[in-house]
Amino acid sequence: MGSKKQPTYRFVVADSRSPRDGRFIEILGHYNPRTEPKTLVVDEAKAKEWLAKGAQPTPTVRRLLAERGVMDRGPVRETKRAPRAAKAG
**Domain spans in the chain, listed from the N-terminal domain onward:** 2-68
Select from 1.10.150.530, 3.30.1320.10, 3.40.50.1220, 3.40.50.880 the CATH code of 2-68: 3.30.1320.10
User: Residue 9: what pLDDT?
Assistant: 85
- What is d(CA 62, CA 70) in angstroms, rounded to the nearest whole number? 9
Cα 57 to Cα 66: distance, rounded to the nearest angstrom: 11
The pLDDT assigned to 89 comes to 57
Quote the pLDDT of residue 59.
Answer: 86
pLDDT for the residue numbered 88: 66
CA angle at 64 for the pair 31 and 44, rounded to the nearest 5°: 80
Count CB neighbours of 11 within 10 A.
23
pTM above 0.85, yes or no: no
Q: Kindly give the parts of the chain with pLDDT less than 50.
A: none
